[in-house]
Structure 1
């Protein structure tokens, strides 16, 4: 059982380290990656049934994570959107909540919390499949 994730991050080093960490420590399997809003939206729309989790940075090579989160309208209740960025503050958290983002994590201080969140999502999916 895997949690299918799509990672939108324009920094290749951060992206690869994040993928390695999540795939090693949780049931996350990264189904795809993007560094731009346009490519991410295209993949997400064409693969609506192939992802359980989107992890997105706020600032991308092209576009923004906030706009991307706003554009992801069609998703199952079980599909989660997470913002993972260096630019997290109270107003960003509030805006993300207004857009329906499920969780927000600061890259510099909350990587463990992101891993815990992903592990919890893995547990939730395993419980749903067992029922």
Structure 2
């Protein structure tokens, strides 16, 4: 498999669509779904464990928080990655995200390129993992 199946938890529809389009075009990921609330995100991610490789989660949602989404997905496969993309990051919130299981934390305003790089690395790791071993 050489695509990263990505689920987006973001309450702003314009940002959600722009993010899906950007990640599809630039990072070559496959957006497999989206949610705008904590409950929708938790429900989909925990009910479809074999259907996603990467979740991109905003911290402050229409209803609930990304912190709860991170916590609900702590017991996932090691190959499944959770990243936070938010406008409201402080050193304390970054630390809390990491403690709750985030693999990376990105600022929406200044670190989109870093998110794209992370997605490309995930894609490369999947490609290497799925390649047959040389004899």
Q: Give TM class, smaller chain.
A: over 0.9
- For the aligned residues, what is the CA RMSD? 0.9
Determine the structure 2 residue equivalent to 1:91.
92
SS of 1:83's partner is: strand
Q: How does the TM-score come out when normalised to structure 2?
A: 0.94
How do 1:99-110 and structure 2 match up within 5 A? 99-110=100-111
Unaligned segments of structure 1, at least 5 residues: none
Determine the structure 1 residue equivalent to 2:46.
45
**What CA distance in whole angstroms lies between the structure 1 residues aligned with 2:50 and 2:16?**
23
Superposed displacement of residue 46, structure 1: 1.6
Determine the structure 1 residue equivalent to 2:72.
71
SS of 2:51's partner is: coil
**What CA distance in whole angstroms lies between the structure 2 residues aligned with 1:88 and 1:73?**
20
How do 1:1-131 and structure 2 match up within 5 A? 1-131=2-132
**What CA distance in whole angstroms lies between the structure 2 residues aligned with 1:73 and 1:97?**
11
**What CA distance in whole angstroms lies between the structure 2 residues aligned with 1:113 and 1:44?**
23
**What CA distance in whole angstroms lies between the structure 2 residues aligned with 1:26 and 1:72?**
23
**What CA distance in whole angstroms lies between the structure 2 residues aligned with 1:57 and 1:15?**
10
Q: How does the TM-score come out when normalised to structure 1?
A: 0.96
4+ residue runs over 3 A deviation:
none
Unaligned segments of structure 2, at least 5 residues: none
**What CA distance in whole angstroms lies between the structure 2 residues aligned with 1:45 and 1:57?**
17
**What CA distance in whole angstroms lies between the structure 2 residues aligned with 1:71 and 1:45?**
8
